[in-house]
Every structure is written in C-alpha cells, then in structure tokens.
Amino acid sequence: MPARDADRSKVYLLRTNTASNTAVRGPGLLQAITVTETMLDELAAATSIDKETLREKNMMTAEQCTPAVKESGAIKDYNMPRIWRELGAKAELDARKAAVDRFNAENRWKKRGVAMSPMRCARISQGAEDAQA
C-alpha cells in the first residue's frame, strides 16, 4: 500500500518547565491496577461471587486508614460504601448486566461487558500550604 501525505508525521522534541500530563507521571500504576483487577476477576470466578460484590466486601473501611491518611487525621464522613451503592443503583448496573448477559448468550463471536470499579487516590500532606482554606 503506497504511503500518502496524510499518513506522514513529523516529530519535534522540546523541553518545558511543566510536568507531563500522561500516565508516565505514575510509572507502574496502570500495570498494578491491571494485575489487581485480574486477580479479583479470577477470585470472583473461582468462588462464584459477583465481581462487584467482591469489590464491595474488600473496600477499605474508615478504621482501615493508611499511614498517609492518618497523618492528616481520621477520615470524617467516610462515605465510599454509600456512594458505591448509590452509583450502582443510579447506573442501573443490575439491568445493564442482565442486558449484557442476554447479548453474550445470543452472540457467539461478539461479546460485551460492564463493570464498576472503585478507586482510591491517596493525598499526602505537603505541609503549611495544606492548612490554607
């Protein structure tokens, strides 16, 4: 197939004083998430437990703070379990799962999937600037 002008690109290297806004800022994070999600999927399949139920049962509680969280004080109004349930209901996750299961049963080669995954982003105190409102 002959190359066209639209298929060509030029690469320019440059240096800036700002941080990159890509996954490279956190090397290994994407791989760690992939490994963790794969382990949860395998465990859910081996125990015949719904994946979202397994994730909910293994969610951090207010008492299970990490040292980074404890430095800034106890978690006040920890609401992850409530948010998890509300988002599942608002997204009609059970109905969507049933529709996906029907689609997958009716189609041999094309498959669909739906999932809900929690994510926690740790915030480490940086000092005096964190005390400002």
* pLDDT, tens digit, 9 for 90 and up, residues 30-74: 788 888 888 988 999 999 998 888 988 888 877 776 555 555 555
At 80-102, the pLDDT tens digits run: 888 999 999 999 999 999 999 99
Closest residue by Cα to residue 111 from 101, 119, 120, 121: 101
* CB-facing half-sphere around the CA of 127: CA atoms within 13 A: 0
Length of the chain as a residue count:
133
Residue 64 belongs to some domain of the structure = yes
Residue 37 belongs to some domain of the structure = yes
Is the pLDDT score of 22 beyond 70?
no
Q: Are residues 48 and 80 in the same domain?
A: no
Closest residue by Cα to residue 57 from 69, 70, 43, 76: 43
pTM of the model: 0.59
Report the number of distinct structural domains present in the chain. 2
Is residue 84 within 8 A of residue 59, CB to CB? The reply is: yes
Residue 132 belongs to some domain of the structure = no
Between 133 and 107, where is the model more confident? 107
Q: Are residues 67 and 53 in the same domain?
A: no
pLDDT > 70 in the chain, percent: 65
Q: Are residues 64 and 105 in the same domain?
A: yes
Residue 8 belongs to some domain of the structure = no
Q: Are residues 87 and 54 in the same domain?
A: no
Print the domain residue range for 68: 60-110
Residue 48 belongs to some domain of the structure = yes
Is the pLDDT score of 103 beyond 70?
yes
Map residue 109 onto helix, strand or coil.
Answer: coil
Residue 79 CA to residue 71 CA, distance in Å, equals: 19
Q: Are residues 34 and 49 in the same domain?
A: yes
